[in-house]
Amino acid sequence: MSTLNAEEYKSFEGIKQTDEDGSEFWYARDLAAVLQYKEWRNFNKVIDRAMLACKNSSYAISDHFVEVNKMVGIGSGAQRSQIDYKLTRYACYLIVQNGDPRKEVIALGQTYFAIQTRRAEVGDTFNQLDENNKRLVARGNIKQWNQLLVEAAHKAGILTDEEYAVFQNAGYKGLYGGLTVADIHARKGLKPNEKILDFMGSTELIANLFRISQTEEKLRIEEASSPAEANNIHYEVAEKIRNAIMEMGATLPENLPKPDKSIQVIEREEIRKLRDPQITLMLDE
């Protein structure tokens, strides 16, 4: 992950605010600008996902995302009300975790907001979640680890999309008994634009998270220096995980059931619950 230099550090530090009681916070619109989101509606979608992650961590959303209305000038001395959020450091972490991974500044934000520490906090209550929300948490962690894996593979000499596809297949073949990404995609009966990770249950996602995280670590430790070496490491790590699953007598990944709903559908449903809570009225009839 990228290292913050002094100037980039200041971009996050410079927008930090302090309450009367000394508590630090960030305004969402200030953070959106630093994270290079030009449209508020796009950044608001990231906030929605971050709120959902906050709920899944068993933290009160209202403790970390405080909606405020600020008056802003619109010319000729006129003003209008504008929705913003006061964010805790934890809320900011969740936002950068759910931001656009293609933006380098997102990776810098993850470093600044202490992603490793916060990820551990998210995991503390994982077992208390229902299956859908376990899938959301595991899929989110995989997205982050995949970024690290891409960086490690790049350092090993994997530079093109074609080379990365071979590298990716090496891992899947090791974990899935020789099946490639295309094979697993076909086995799950997915459409061409659907991703296999989005149609995995929590058990299958966790097995893949372990594959990804352990491969990333081994690539770094062994300082892999060629695509062939990186491919072998990915396959060997994945195969060892598969062997461990077999030794425990657990279900192999390719035999686990495919969930009915994709991660995207579940995410939309959970965000809708946050935005439109059902209020039951108690009527004495």
Nearest to 190 by CA among 251, 263, 252: 263
- pLDDT score for 174: 98
Cβ proximity of 142 and 200 under 8 Å: no
Secondary element (H or E) of residue 86: strand 78-87
Looking at residue 241, its amino acid is I
Which DSSP symbol is given to 262?
A: -
- Beta-carbon neighbour count of residue 75 at 10 Å? 6
- pLDDT score for 283: 53
Rounded CA-CA distance 139/183 in Å is 21
* pTM of the entire predicted model: 0.66
- pLDDT score for 119: 52
Nearest to 31 by CA among 18, 19, 14, 45: 14
- pLDDT score for 3: 39
Secondary element (H or E) of residue 274: helix 263-275
Cβ proximity of 169 and 180 under 8 Å: yes
Q: How far apart are the first and last CA of the chain?
A: 61
Nearest to 220 by CA among 160, 164, 155: 155
Cβ proximity of 106 and 1 under 8 Å: no
- pLDDT score for 180: 97
Strand order in the sheet with 16-18: 16-18, 24-27, 78-87, 65-75
Q: What is the pLDDT along the chain (285 residues), one digit of tens a residue?
A: 333 444 555 788 889 899 888 888 999 999 999 999 999 999 999 999 999 999 988 889 999 999 999 877 666 767 788 899 999 988 998 998 888 877 878 877 876 776 445 555 555 667 778 899 999 989 988 988 898 999 999 999 999 999 999 999 999 999 999 999 999 999 999 999 999 999 999 999 999 999 999 999 899 999 999 999 999 999 999 999 999 999 889 999 999 999 999 999 999 988 888 876 555 545 554
Residue 134 tokens, joined? 């376990």
Residues with Cβ within 8 Å of residue 234, at least 6 apart in sequence: 167, 168, 170, 171, 174, 215
- pLDDT score for 2: 38
Phi, psi for residue 2 in degrees, rounded to 5? -60, 150
Strand bridging mode 16-18 / 24-27: antiparallel
| 190-216 per-residue burial string, b: 16 or more CB within 10 A, e: under 16 | beeeeebbbbbbbbbbbbbbbbbbbbb
Rounded CA-CA distance 273/260 in Å is 19
